[in-house]
Structure 1
Amino acid sequence: MKLQRVRIEQVRQFRKPLVLDSLQPGLNLIHGPNESGKSTLVRAIRAAFFERYRSTTVDDLAPWGDSAAAPTIELDFEHQEKSWHLTKSFLKRKRCNLKVGTDSYSEDEAEEKLAELLGYQYPKRGVSKAEHWGIPGLLWVEQGTGQDIEQAVEHAGDHLKSALNSLVGEVASSGGDELIESVRSRRDTLLTSTGKPRGDYLQLERDRDQYQQDIEALEERIRNYQDQVDRLQELTREYEQAEEERPWEDAQRQLDQARERYQQVERLEQDQKQDEAALEQLLRHQHLLKQNRDHLENLTRQLEGRKAELDRAQREFEQTQASTAAITSGLADATSAYETAEKQLEMARLLETRTRLEQDIRRLEQQNRTLCQNLDKARDHQKQLDEARAEARVNQIDASAVKTLKRTEQQLNEETIRSQTIATRLSWQLEPGVSVTLNGAPIDEQGEKQLLEESSLAIPGVGTLGITPGGEELASTRRKLNALQQTLAEQIKTLGVNSVEQAETRLAAYETARRTLQHAEELFKSVAPAGIDPLASEQKDIEVGLDKARAQLQATPEPDTSQGVPDMAEAEAAFTRAAGRLEKAETEEQKHRADLLTRKQARDSASAEWQRLAEEEQSPERQQQLRQLADDLADNEARKTELETRLRNREQEIREARPNMLRQDIERYQKSISHLRQAQETRGRELRDIRVRLEAWGAEGLEEQLNEQRAKLEQCERRYQELHRRALALDLLLSLLTEKRQALTRRLQAPLQKHLNHYLSLLFPDASLEVDEQLKPGTFSRGTELGQIVELSFGAREQMGLISRLAYADLLREAGRPTLVILDDTLVHSDSDRLEDMKRILFDAASRHQILLFTCHPQNWNDLGVPPIDLQSLKVQAVAAL
């Protein structure tokens, strides 16, 4: 089966007709972004085959918000060297027509013909579902379902088995089924499907395990009883020995001695800290005394330094004051030059401004004239454009519908001529005065009529003659003729015309108006690309700018050119030089004032400091302070020596006492006392617990319970072994019978396995995939790996699903069944290496089947070897054709 053309109209987003034609017999790559209509196109193809034309549950096909729509789908395809043309409409205009070569089918007959061809069925009521889709449901993969193949194979199973039987003949016999089921029934009473025990067999296994656990528990309790007796004797001896020796009391005495020694060391450390603090305070006081003495002794040297500083500051002040006159004169000259340059620059600017405004006025006047001319032309072209649009609206008609109308009229004429050639011809010549009626209507004395339907000829005095045109071909021709007449009437009514000639006249007038409209639009855009209003607005803006420029020119004074005006560049250069000179002179003058003030302040500060030091150096209080400082330093030194000696001696005493070790001894003795007392208490509690447990266990009769449980285990074991041997025998017998049955099944599956292995070797060279009795892909193995296909990753399951579908397609083609593979955005989860292998597989399969691949990632399929079909481009072309 080779799909050649798809046309849809009023289907979801495709309100206007969209045609997908020139489809290749192999690979066809159809791409477009999300929401471009790929899934809609796939849904339309599915609806054309799966949905009943009279169904009322296909509202999803209608464009959104259009309750009056009649979704229409046309398909052209080839099968067994015959051309098939299917037209199906839903909702408001329900119909289905199928033409196969020269044969035509309609309504239910056409739908059943399609279902028989492709291998699917229609629902009795409601929307079509997956269980009805059969072979197309297996080969047509919807978006996001490529990995789900089990249900699709199940729904297509009967058709696949029919294809296999047509290839290899019926090899599976049901003669041994009763025996296998009988053995399986007996086995199932003892074992589950996975070989696990069940029923009495399972209960015996559980009882045996429980008896063994009980025996092990009793044996463990007996061992524990004996261990507890031994532990009681040993623990009693340890408890009595500890009570006699009482080791925690010796540890308490050692703890008290260690605490007393540590308290003595703590008192020494406290005295040491007090003396250290006193020594630190004494040292700080000594440092202050030395600072005061050094300050008083350095006063004379400071006085000499201050005198030198005073002399230097006086000289620097006098030198700075001497340059004041020269700097003031330079500033005045720079200011005069700046003012002259500023006046020259102002006149140059006035002259340049007037020149620029005059040029702007001339330019705006020219633009205003051009825009006025374009505005007049645009209004003329707009008038022509409106007239052409009105003419196009009056005569607007669907060209494809007119073409279809003409084709229908031609078919009707051909069918009328054909009917005339095969109709029953009735001719008559009556005697004068004889009255005869045909179908209740009187006829002339002489005439002729062609009859396509059963008629009656009434002759007065004679009777009524019945005339029945013969032949199935005539009945078929009559039905076709009625259908074509009805179709032609509906098409004429839909177009709103009275005849085909009137439709052609309107179409010619519409096309002429469209050409005129296009020419007028081109002329209009050449003078007003954005429209008349923006052009008029632009012309008004130019007029406002022109008035503004004239006002500015009138308000700008004319410069005095009697003394000559330099050009703008020369005036700006002179002004820049004068401004730089003035700025430099101002900077030098400001710097000079700052230096003069700084020198004066430095001289005054040096004079005041020298005067203060001179007075302080001669005061009697200073001499008295020097003598007092000497006495204080001597007394401080003696006290310092005494403290340092006492600190060294005490530090030696503390070090010999080792306080860290004393603290560790205290901690060690405390922990030892706690541990010794706690250990004795623990022994006492354990002794009481053991005595209580031994008394309880001795009363239970553990050895008698053990012997009783061993007897029950022996009886249970005998019965368990009987059922175990029976289960193994039944399982072995069922396995042998099943293997024999599977050998026959594998012969039936061999053709399918052959095609599956062909594709699998391209994707996984060292792998194998087996199919089960229902022809579903099941066990997958690769090297040492073994598992079910459902255990693979999502991407691998998607790839295995596709190659399985291609294998089914090969099987169907080999059996002479039609195949068409549709893939909607599949393999999106494949990595680059696997995708490359899948491209090889698709290219190979395309040599045997037609494949429609829909994708929103065309860049991933550039190397597929086929020209891509851009769905967006088709939509643009469809709009342009209207």
Structure 2
Amino acid sequence: MKLTRLYINQFQQFRTPLDVTGLEAGLNLFVGPNESGKSTLVRAIRAAFFERHKTGSVTELQPWGDSSAGPEIQLEFDWQGSRWTLNKRFLQSKRCDLQGGGEHYRGDEADDRLAELLGYEFPGRGASKAEHWGIPGLLWVEQGAVQEMREPVGHAGEHLQAALSRNLSEALGDVASTGGDALIARVEQERGKLLTATGRSTGELKQAEQESARLAAEQDRLDSQVDEYRELVDRLGELQRQQREIDAARPWEAQQARAEKARQALDAVQAQQQRQAQERSELDACRRSQQLYRQQLQDMEDQARQLARREEEKARAQQQREQHRANDGGIRQRLEDAKADYARAEEALASARQHARRQALQAEQERLREQSSRLGATLADARRLRDTLQQLSEQHQAIRIDDEALRQLQRTEDEREKLGIQQQALATRLAYRLEDGQQLMLGDQPLSGEGEKELLAAAELRIPGVGTLTVTPGGSDVAELSRRQQRHAADRDALLHELGAASLADAGARARKADELNRRMERERAELKGLAPQGLDALESEQRLAEQRQKQLADELTQLSDAPRAAAPLDEAQAQAALANAGEQLKAAEHAEQAHRQALGLAQQALATAEAEWQSLHDELNAPDRQQRQQQARDALTDLHAQDERLQASLERRQSEIEAANPELLEQDLERFTRAAEAQLQQARGREREVHDLQIRLDTQGAQGLDEQRDDARRQQQQIQRRRDELSRRAEALDLLLTRLKQQRQTVTRRLQAPLQKHLGRYLKLLFPGAELTVDEDLKPEALIRDGTGGEERGSLEALSFGAREQMGLITRLAYADLLKEAGRPTLIILDDALVHCDRARREQMKRILFDAARRHQVLLFTCHPENWQDLGVAPREMQALKTAGSTADMLAPQAGGDAPRPGVTARHE
């Protein structure tokens, strides 16, 4: 099979037609960067074959954002000596036409005939999937999928088996024949009734095993129930014996009596402990009272000594007060002197500031005179620039050109000239070479000698002595171009009239002059902005403010001149320093006076406090009842000491009695006897409940006939075991027969695989010399066997690196293609960005393999790495060149008509 032409329109990124022709019978290399349309071409080929034209689930084929488009694909291919043409359109105006070999199919018949030719299937509904693609799905590799082999081979398995069987049908024998397949299928069917594919039981055998297991479990359950019944009878007898021997004596009552006796003894001891705690509290209170009376007597003895100390403190306080009073006059005089010095410093500073103010005002007045003069000059320049800008703006307004209208005029003129070029390209060229003395008449123009004329409209060529020829050039195309040119000329004239220009050049000159005026205005504005950043009004206002400030300064200086002046005023800094120094002296004097007042007040307060404390203590020592209170304290202390001895002796006696009774042991006896009574009572009640429950359960189970049920279950289990053993033997026999048949079938299958192994070896020796690739009975690649450093290495394809799996996937597909070609099946190999993970050495070997395969098959190779395939032996087709050629053809095509391209106008790159 050889694909010769591919035409697509309104397909994904190709909104306009793209026509690829002149495809070679061998290698065809398409190159371009990502998103250049390579995968779109592959998708178009797949859609042409794999998708039914009526399906509505292929909206992704439409150009992005255009839901009204109808994707269209046209293919031409050679097969078995005939040229076939396929035209298919999706979604809008759906159609499918297939012609070739004297056959013509339409609609669904065309889709079905395509699937029959190439060996694939269509889905029942919806978009096509990988499981339907058959042989093309194996040989047409999508981007990034060349390493995936098992699923594509599985989907094409029937077609591969059919190709091999056709070649070896005479040597297969009965096992590989249809009768052999029927026998294996029948054995598998019978075995499948008893065993699953993994050898597990199923069907009747599984039911027999499950029933046998159920009956065995039932028998075990009944055995367990019989054993349980006997255990319950024994347990009931034991419980009844314990009731007679233990519970009848009511042993818990004796434990309850012992617990009551222990409680009474414990209550007596606890009463002793309460009285002991009361006496201990009384002893603590007695000792606190003794401490208080001792402290009271000690305080009375200390008061006499404290009176002498108070007398000394009072004398010291009086002496300090007199000392402070003696310093009072000097401190007051120092403060008055400091205040006078500070007042004189303030007057000196005011005089100095007035002198400094007069000098500052005079300096500012001089500065304002200069500023006013400068502002006047700047204002005059700014007014001159404002007037100039006004004149320039009026000139610019008179000649300015609208930029958008000028661009529209330029586009219109360019389009008119382009139409003129197209008109010249489509014009009929009349070349003539006349003999000397001969003359023709082209309309009213005589022609003689040698030359060439371009005819854009119909013209009459008169040949003397012969007649008149009417020449009509280009048909409707030239006429349409002429009308379009006239429309553009009218549009140009209208735009010129609107702009008030005589021509495009005149309009351009006015635009340039307007731009020059605009730039000059910008310069003038910048200069005016430099002179008056805030505007001309702000500048005038600034000048007025400067003049007003001058007047204010003059008035203030007049007032300062009228004020009396001090003779030889100090410098303001010196006056400020003198004032600061006077202020420090005044502050020190004030602080000294304040400290003196505070110290005098404290001395007076200390004296008053000392006198009050001395008087209070003196009155206390001379109080008339002091002796009586002291004696009462001594008597109370004696009574409390006697009470302390009595309480201490009583506490020692009670402690001895409590220790002898041992209350902790009594508490343990009470807890032990109480728990023993409760435990014995609970055991008796528990035995009573268990006896009652056992009697009910034994009555219930005795009525079920457990022994009879167990015997029936044993008979049923024996019957189902015999049936299970019979079915198991049959399953083993069928499994053995199927194994023997498949072994024989595998022997024949190896002969069946020999042609495929031959083709695999052809390519494998170029990539891995001495290696072997095994395939299973479904013709799927299985393991790679090759020599390693430690001997023979065997590994699955999945264990290889990603790049190696890509290489093995490609050579396996080429081997399948050789096999299919020998069987007379169509082969076309499409590789979309394959072998991108090859190293340089392996890529060189893969190029040899591809070049060899291209001698037998057509190969379409798409890549975004053209530098890797420069030495493939074929000129690459650049996607951008194809697009450019397609765009040129579309531009030169008629504006109205069918969807098909004009004959001869194609994106050709050969």
1:311 aligns with 2:274: no
Q: Does 1:245 align with 2:243?
A: no
Q: Name the structure 1 match of 2:713.
A: 705
CA distance in 1, matches of 2:574, 2:720: 129
Task: Tell me how far 1:279 sits from its aligned partner.
Answer: 1.8
How far is 1:281 from its partner?
1.9
Taking a change above 3 Å as real, the CA distance of residues 565 and 456 of structure 1, as seen in their structure-2 partners, is: same
CA distance in 2, matches of 1:127, 1:490: 44
Q: How does 1:718-757 map to 2 (within 5 A)?
A: 719=727
Shift of 1:721: 7.3
Larger Rg over CA atoms: 2
Distance 2:235 2:131 in 1: 76
1:522-561 map, 5 Å: 522-528=523-529, 536-537=537-538, 540=541, 544=545, 547=548, 551=552, 554=555, 558=560, 560-561=564-565
Q: Equivalent residue for 1:506?
A: 507
Name which of structure 1's ranges 578-587 and 631-640 shifts more when overlaid on structure 2.
578-587
Aligned to 2:588: 584
Structure 2 residue matching 1:569: 3-state secondary structure:
helix
1:703 Cα offset (Å):
4.6
- Going from structure 1 to structure 2, the CA distance change for 1:629 and 1:215 (only over 3 Å counts) comes to same
1:302 aligns with 2:306: yes
Find the counterpart in structure 1 of residue 13 from structure 2: 50
Q: CA deviation at 1:306?
A: 0.8
Equivalent position of 2:604 in the other structure:
600
2:161 paired residue among 153, 176, 179: 176
Q: Matches of 1:175 and 1:766 in 2, distance apart?
A: 25
Deviations 1:594-622 (A, max 9, x none): 11111111112211221222222122200
SS at match of 1:562: coil
The aligned counterpart of 1:222 is 223
Residue-pair matches, total: 659
Cα separation, 1, equivalents of 2:313 and 2:565: 63
TM-score, normalised to structure 2, is 0.56
| Equivalent AA in structure 2 for residue 372 of structure 1 | L
Would you say the 8 A contact 2:461–2:470 is kept in 1? Answer: yes
1:334–1:675 Cα change, 3 Å? farther
Residues 643-667 of structure 1 deviation map (CA, whole Å, 9 limit, x = unaligned): 1222233234434544445445544
- CA-to-partner distance for each residue in 1:229-283, whole Å, 9 max, x for gaps? 3255246425642663345444433432332232223212211221122122222
Q: Match of 1:699, as an amino acid?
A: G
Alpha-carbon distance between aligned partners in 2 of 1:766 and 1:113, rounded to the nearest angstrom: 27
SS in 2 for 1:280: helix
Question: How far apart in 2 are the matches of 1:606 and 1:377?
Answer: 97
Q: Does 2:423 align with 1:422? A: no
Question: How much does 1:551 deviate?
Answer: 4.0
Q: Which residue of 1 aligns with 2:621?
A: 617
Could you tell me which residue of structure 1 aligns to residue 116 of structure 2?
Answer: none
Does the CA contact (< 8 Å) of 1:286 and 1:633 recur in 2? Answer: yes
| 727-736 or 231-240: bigger deviation | 727-736
| Corresponding residue SS for 2:705 | helix
Contact 1:255–1:670 under 8 Å retained in 2: yes
- The residue number in structure 1 matching 2:403 is 396
Once the two structures are TM-superposed, the CA of residue 333 in structure 1 deviates from its matched residue by 1.4
Query: Amino acid of the residue matched to residue 720 of structure 2?
Result: K
Note if contact 2:219-2:710 (Cα within 8 Å) is conserved in structure 1.
Answer: yes
> Quick one: distance in 2 between partners of 1:410 and 1:203?
90
Pair 1:768–1:112, CA change in 2 (3 A): closer
Work out whether residues 389 and 513 of structure 1, in 8 Å CA contact, stay in contact via their aligned partners in 2.
Answer: yes
Deviation at residue 326 of structure 1 after TM alignment: 1.3
Q: How far has the Cα of 1:624 moved from its partner?
A: 0.6
* CA distance, structure 1, for counterparts of residue 408 and residue 129 of structure 2: 40
Unaligned runs of 5+ in 1: 1-45, 55-78, 87-97, 99-110, 135-149, 428-437, 755-763, 777-801, 822-840, 842-847, 853-882
- Partners of 1:120 and 1:133 within 8 A in 2: no
Decide which of 306, 322, 347 is 1:343's aligned counterpart.
347
Corresponding position of 1:376: 383
* 1:357–1:549 Cα contact (<8 Å) kept: no
Partners of 1:338 and 1:452 in 2: CA distance: 116
- Deviation track 1:444-482 (CA, whole Å, cap 9, x = no partner) reads 799999767999999xxx99999777xxxx67xx74884
Output the amino acid matched with 1:650: R
Which one of 642, 645, 649 corresponds to residue 646 of structure 2? 642
Give the aligned residue type for 1:576. A
CA gap of 1:379–1:80, structure 2 versus 1, over 3 A, is farther
**Of the candidates 645, 654, 657, which is equivalent to residue 658 of structure 2?**
654
Where structure 2 has 5 or more consecutive residues not aligned to the other structure, the ranges are: 1-8, 18-27, 65-126, 166-175, 435-441, 769-797, 811-831, 852-858, 869-875, 881-910
User: Shift in Å at residue 705 of structure 1?
Assistant: 2.7
Distance 1:805 1:366 in 2: 87
Give the alignment partner of residue 715 of structure 1, picking from 695, 711, 723: 723
- Which of 308, 330, 338 aligns to 1:326? It is 330
Match of 1:4 in 2: none
Structure 2 counterpart of 1:521: 522
Match of 2:297 in 1: 293
Distance 2:322 2:697 in 1: 117
CA contact (8 A) 1:262 1:659 kept: yes
What letter corresponds to residue 292 of structure 1 in structure 2? Answer: Q
> Is the contact between residue 338 and residue 575 of structure 1 (CA under 8 Å) also seen in structure 2?
yes
Amino acid corresponding to residue 285 of structure 1 in structure 2: S
Secondary structure (helix, strand or coil) at the match of 1:394 reads coil
Compute the RMSD of aligned alpha carbons. 6.5
How far, CA to CA, are the matches of 2:542 and 2:320 in structure 1? 71
Q: Does 1:262 align with 2:263?
A: no
CA distance in structure 1 between the partners assigned to 2:427 and 2:243 by the alignment: 135
The superposition leaves residues 293-352 of structure 1 with CA deviations (integer Å, 9 ceiling, x where unpaired) of: 222222211211110111011011111111111111111111112222223333334444
Return the alpha-carbon distance in structure 2 between the equivalents of residues 665 and 237 of structure 1.
Answer: 32
Structure 1 residues 558-603: Cα deviation after superposition (integer angstroms, max 9, x where no partner) = 3754323333322222222222221121111111111111111111
Equivalent residues in 2 for 1:662-811, closer than 5 Å: 662-694=666-698, 695-696=700-701, 698-700=704-706, 701-709=709-717, 711-712=719-720, 715-716=723-724, 719=727, 768=802
Partner of 1:497: 495
SS in structure 1 at match of 2:294: helix
Instruction: Say which is worse superposed, 391-400 or 624-633, in terms of deviation.
Output: 391-400
Give yes or no for contact 1:412–1:485 (8 Å, CA) kept in 2: no
- Does the 8 Å contact 1:420/1:450 carry over to 2? yes
Q: Structure 1 stretch 313-322 or stretch 380-389: which is displaced more?
A: 380-389
Q: CA-to-partner distance for each residue in 1:699-757, whole Å, 9 max, x for gaps?
A: 35245235424643653565477568868959989999899799899999999x99xxx
Q: Take 2:224 and 2:308, find their aligned partners in 1: how far apart are those partners?
A: 109
Identity within the alignment, %: 20
Equivalent of 1:280, from 279, 284, 287? 284
SS at match of 2:202: helix
Structure 2 CA distance for aligned equivalents of residues 203 and 550 of structure 1: 128
TM-score, with normalisation over the residues of structure 1? 0.58
Cα distance in 2 between the residues matched to 1:388 and 1:661: 128
| Number of the residue aligned with 2:106 | none
| Contact 1:424/1:451 (<8 A) preserved | no
Question: Mapping of 1:860-879 within 5 angstroms?
Answer: none
Partner Cα distance (1:282, 1:271) in 2: 17
Q: Which amino acid aligns with 2:327?
A: S
Structure-2 separation of matches of 1:198 and 1:387: 104
User: Within 2, Cα distance between the matches of 1:198 and 1:531?
Assistant: 103
Rounded Cα–Cα distance in structure 1 between residues aligned with 2:189 and 2:238: 64
In structure 2, what residue type is equivalent to 1:245? I
Q: Is the 8 A contact 2:428 2:455 kept in 1?
A: no
Q: Which amino acid aligns with 1:50?
A: Q
Residue identity opposite 1:497 in structure 2:
L
